[in-house]
Amino acid sequence: MFAAIIVTFVISFGPGDDAGCSSSAQNYAASVNGELITTSEFRFSYSNMYDYYQRIFRDFNNEMAAQYKLSEKAMDGLIGEILLAQEAKSLGFKVSDEEVRKEIMETPYFQQNGAFDRDSYNKMVQFTLNTTVSDYEHKVRLQLLSRKLRSFLFQSIDISETEVLDEFTSSDEKMDAFVYSILESSLKDEIKNKIKDEISDDEVKTFLEADLTKVKLTFEDNVSKYSKKDGSGQTLFEDVKVDVAKDIMLKDKIAAKMKLDSEAVFTAVKENPSITTEDISKKFPDWNISRKEVPGVVKNAKFVQGVGFSPKFVEKLFGSTEPGVLDSVFITEEGNHVIAGRIKHVPADMEKFEKDKGNIKERLKTTKKAQILENYVDQLRDKATVSINENFLKIYSSPAQAE
């Protein structure tokens, strides 16, 4: 993703209101060791990134941009490019005037009928990019310095045959599986209500005496949940502490029941791997549990239907190639209890490997480049003086922002 973002910046440093060190401070979006990123420059890069995501996600909008922290990604990309350019200069890399001229003449924005057009260049820089020719060329020089340092960092990258084979098998080796998931939401409402009703006043009193701090913290984290429905005034902790305590106790009791019942479900499935959903429902009527068939889980999967995001579950699933129920209840990162089993293992198709290994090697190179670049920029940033105009960035951090 880091590499893809850089690729989308056709002009990585884009425009500036008054780019470079001569920029007016009031127009800056950030400063990197004294080099200013202007507001126009940021808008251009943000717009490029927004367009990129729209090509990937058909329904991409401002709300999703805020969730993906697109403004932070755009800013980090610009800061990273300047840091690389500054480091390249300190290491002795140079960019000639001829290299700057060639880069500009080959930029599609400034061409007419496949050839550089000076009139188009001047108009684009002045009116569309909202900067001067000298300031724009300063940014191009920085871009080329950054590019030279990246090439230097990447020249020794190599991918071994073992890495390529591991990557291929991880993406082509598959497992057909089945899953029973027991979640808090799987417990039927009438059972939840029954458990809650069975919590006595004495239990609540004892709990409050023993865990008052926990109850207060829970209330503070969920004030809106316990606020007065009629909006008649501020909700005080003393008024709702019993309700908060009951909710905590209910959650604990459900968790205990989930653990106990999931072990019983595991035993039932272990004894009869082909047990039907109907039989499970009869044995465990308090829960809504159904068997999910999950075909074609690949070895490097991060998400599994019915389980959620859990690389550890996938690792456990591929712990053996033999069909059968996994050796214990698996508890996900979210606290869900999963009973699962292997139906069929499908080994990687080695005939495809010879055809695909070239593409796999290039993909691994791209990934390794992104990792090297990200780590290198992080190290530079730790030593740099970076100032971000947070008030300006807030405009783009809200779902209500203008595209």
Residues 320 and 256 occupy one common structural domain = yes
- The CA-based angle 41-17-150, given to 5 degrees, is 35
In a domain, 16, yes or no: yes
Radius of gyration of the chain (CA): 29
Residues 124 and 23 occupy one common structural domain = yes
Residues 276 and 178 occupy one common structural domain = yes
Q: In angstroms, how far is the first alpha carbon of the chain from the final one? A: 21
Residues 230 and 298 occupy one common structural domain = yes
pLDDT of residue 25: 43
Q: Distance between CA 97 and CA 50 in Å, rounded?
A: 32
Residues 385 and 259 occupy one common structural domain = no
In a domain, 403, yes or no: no
User: The tokens 């939401």 sit on which residue?
Assistant: 185
Q: Distance between CA 157 and CA 133 in Å, rounded?
A: 37
Residues 152 and 42 occupy one common structural domain = yes
The first and second tokens of residue 266, run together, are: 């595991």
In a domain, 351, yes or no: no
Residues 237 and 309 occupy one common structural domain = yes
- List C-alpha distances in Å: 91 to 77, 139, 148, 380, 386: 21, 19, 11, 13, 20
Q: Residue 14: how many CB atoms within 10 A of its CB?
A: 25
For 34-87, write each residue's pLDDT tens digit: 999 989 889 989 999 999 999 988 889 888 898 889 999 999 999 999 999 999
In a domain, 178, yes or no: yes
Q: Distance between CA 117 and CA 304 in Å, rounded?
A: 53
Q: Distance between CA 130 and CA 17 in Å, rounded?
A: 6
User: The tokens 């009791």 sit on which residue?
Assistant: 253
Residues 153 and 286 occupy one common structural domain = no
CATH code (residue 7): 1.10.4030.10
pLDDT of residue 17: 39
* Number of domains into which the chain is organized: 2
The first and second tokens of residue 76, run together, are: 């980090």
Residues 74 and 99 occupy one common structural domain = yes
Residues 381 and 249 occupy one common structural domain = no
Residues 152 and 212 occupy one common structural domain = no
Residues in contact with 138: Cβ distance below 8 Å, sequence separation at least 6, in sequence order = 19, 20
User: The tokens 């919590």 sit on which residue?
Assistant: 199
Last residue of a domain, one of 323, 346, 369: 346
Instruction: Judge whether 192 and 250 are in contact, CB under 8 Å.
Output: yes
pLDDT of residue 173: 95
In a domain, 113, yes or no: yes
Collect the ranges in the chain with pLDDT lower than 50. Answer: 1-25, 402-403
pLDDT of residue 228: 65
In a domain, 163, yes or no: no
The first and second tokens of residue 110, run together, are: 């400034």
For 253-295, write each residue's pLDDT tens digit: 999 999 999 999 999 999 998 898 899 999 999 999 989 999 9
In a domain, 167, yes or no: no
338-348 per-residue burial string, b: 16 or more CB within 10 A, e: under 16: bbbbbeebeeb
Q: Residue 3: how many CB atoms within 10 A of its CB?
A: 14
What are the strands of the beta sheet with 28-32, ordered from one edge?
Answer: 35-38, 28-32, 386-388
Domain that holds residue 302: 174-346
